[in-house]
Amino acid sequence: MSRKTVAFFPEAAFGPALNSVGIAQAVEALGHRAVFLSDPGFTGVYEGYGFEAHPVNLSEPMPPEQMAKFWEDFINGHIPNFRKSPIEQLDTYVKECWEAIVDSARWAEKDLPALLARLKPDLICVDNVVLFPAIKRHAAEAGIPWVRIISCSENEIEDEAIPPHLSGCGAKDTACHAAFRARFNEVIGPIHDDFNAFLAECGEAAYPPGQFFEASPFLNLLLYPEPVKFERAAPLDPARFQYLEGCVRKDAAFELPPFPGYEGTPLIYVSFGSLGAGDTELLKRIIAAVGKMEIRALVNVGDYMESYGAVPPNVHLASWYPQPSVIPLIDGAIHHGGNNSFTECLYFGKPAIIMPYVWDGHDNATRVQETGHGFRMPRYDWTEAELAEKITAMLTDEAMQARLAATSAHMQGRHGPTRAAGLIDGLLES
């Protein structure tokens, strides 16, 4: 087998970034070379795992430390909007997100052509919600395949019978589906028109309303687990679409800290991701509630450790945890519904309470509850007694535990990164 170069281009968020790391690790295990095309603020993430990372400006150039904080500051500025429903967030958070995403595609067009010409990849994997015309153009001119990775909820690939992406609608709530789709197209319409004008400048055909990307004609990898997938009106063609059952990366080992006086009690993990950690008042409420229970808790507070004073003896704070190494040790989790947290809890058979705030967290929170793998909970509208009741239910529901064990066995029996690498290898050798 000849050694080929596979270029990964995930969006500048830890979920897609770390999913791609998992696949890249498996690609290199097959003898190929994996490199990353990266927002300048994320190059250090990939380099930390031992990969080459080549910067691509996706916005006005700025110092790397400022670039790394861009999305964190963006999220923190929207904390008041986290109290709104998904459809209400369209006018604020979602609209501003799509404006920034379309702007990133325009910026990428400046750097990508020359970078791709220099790297000469044999295959390109893109994990994003928007088309970068240079990727598609280079692949066509070089005669190489490109792969789309869908690391968010599987409803990023639309179907008339399933909830629209970002909606948080129930699978069978067709009235919610219709209302969200109509409002999305109304609010995002001007941004979509601007994007289609950009596509025309790049020689690409216009996309239909609401669509900013397309499925790859070669291969599309969905990280969504099959045990929770939706029933589609038009099932996805397995020749082009493959469910990976998550892509859990290899990470540093983790040793549990001591919890004097709480030895042997259930252990939970609380994390709203690197971006959601800015919602410190919410985390303080959860810490106060958990501190009154006979359990232990690991709480991810991101870069906001200085915001916390003394904490209860059954609570341990850290700025970062190697999540794939932590989740196997816990009995349950409270998280925001990000794709990594969602799939990793399922992969290791751990129940979760999801308190969503943005993007596909809404979809994953609804899905975890309607498939019996955990609970959806409002992010702010709860009492300590209600949270304690849900935590207890999560830790003691035997039917849920059995369902999670079956889902975990299914996912671990397929090992998403290895499967993805094998499919990529097949394209490289064809």
* Euclidean distance between CA atoms 124 and 221, whole angstroms: 13
Token pair 């319409």 is at which residue? Answer: 189
Region 51-76 average pLDDT: 79
Q: pLDDT band at residue 6, thresholds of 50, 70 and 90? A: very high
CATH, range 5-245+414-429: 3.40.50.2000
Given a cut of 60, whether residue 206 has pLDDT beyond it is: yes
Q: pLDDT band at residue 60, thresholds of 50, 70 and 90? A: confident
Q: pLDDT band at residue 427, thresholds of 50, 70 and 90? A: very high
CB atoms within 10 A of CB 313: 12
* Position with higher pLDDT, 72 vs 61: 61
What is the third-level CATH fold of 267-412? Rossmann fold (3.40.50)
Given a cut of 80, whether residue 275 has pLDDT beyond it is: no
Given a cut of 90, whether residue 250 has pLDDT beyond it is: no
CB atoms within 10 A of CB 306: 8
Q: Where are the domains of the chain?
A: 5-245+414-429, 267-412
Quote the distance between the C-alpha of residue 19 and its chain's center.
8
* Position with higher pLDDT, 373 vs 249: 373
The per-residue pLDDT for 245 is 78
Indicate left, alpha or beta for 352 from its phi (over 0: left) and psi (-120 to 50: alpha).
Answer: beta
pTM of the predicted protein model:
0.91
Residue 221 CA neighbour count, 13 Å, CB half: 31
Report the largest interatomic distance among the alpha carbons of the chain, rounded to a whole angstrom. 66
* Euclidean distance between CA atoms 327 and 345, whole angstroms: 7
Query: What integer best gives the mean pLDDT of the chain?
Result: 93
